[in-house]
Amino acid sequence: MAKGRKSIFITGAASGMGRETALLFADKGWFVGAYDVNEQGLKDLQDELGADNCLIRRLDVTDRADYRAALDDFAPAAGGRLDILYNNAGIGRGGPFDQQPFEDILAVVQVNFIGVLNGIYEAIPLLKATPNSLCFTTSSSSATFGMPGIAVYSATKHAVKGLTEALSVEFRALGIRAADVLPGLIDTPILPPGAVEAAPKEGMFRAMHPSEVAKVVWEAYHSDRLHWYVPEELAELDRASAAAPEAVREQMAGGAFFSGPTDRKPD
């Protein structure tokens, strides 16, 4: 039970950015709800956090009824409050668009966007009931400009970014804040072998530890900032894409930027 502590509900919590966020917030004295399809990863996380500091549960974010049930379990344990909803779960399946199985395309849309819609929609009552609550979502560096090789993944992350912007305005009337994070190359075991070693040692696509994203979630709760970039230099790409999309397109075609899914998670 939260016993008066602030609470955070995290999807994709069994590994990577979600796990690091759970560890950080527990260390800060928050009560953590950790959700994933990876049950063993959740059990390992619970062992590290302590059963009194967290609630774990398997959650398929694409199943709206399952998401609702998870929130229904979380609410009494958290004392009826939800200070941060962190929709972090996602998958990455890439390749040339014309060669991808359509089932893979739909799976990416279902997890990365429909899953986010499910979570936000079902969490609104709890977020409304909690002063200064934050609806936070993982977007991606691929939401700065459409990334070749991961076109649908990139499209879902653009959708998440656009949704966040719209809800940051709409939710003011409900007393809820909204923000997102756009991570670049995050150093987790999920990346393809050799990806970290092949990454540049500096610049916007250098490899970053997932704890850097966790720090941003913490900072976002104490800020009114809308978009967060990890590393911060990715904001330059976002601005360049808005100012001169054709120039960025030509740079992409020339292989100037890293084009792999940078924050992907396993099914």
35 catalytic, yes or no?
Answer: no
Nearest to 53 by CA among 118, 99, 128, 1: 1
DSSP-assigned letter for residue 60 = -
From residue 208, give the alpha-carbon distance in Å to each of 122, 189, 263. Answer: 32, 12, 11
- Sequence-ordered alpha helix ranges (H) in 78-136: 102-109, 115-128
Burial class (CB in 10 A: 0-12, 13-18, 19+), 213: buried
Nearest to 180 by CA among 206, 146, 147, 141: 141
Residues in Cβ contact with 107 at an 8 Å cutoff, skipping those fewer than 6 apart: 91, 93, 267
Residue of 67, 153, 221, 229 marked catalytic: 153
Q: Which residues are catalytic?
A: 153
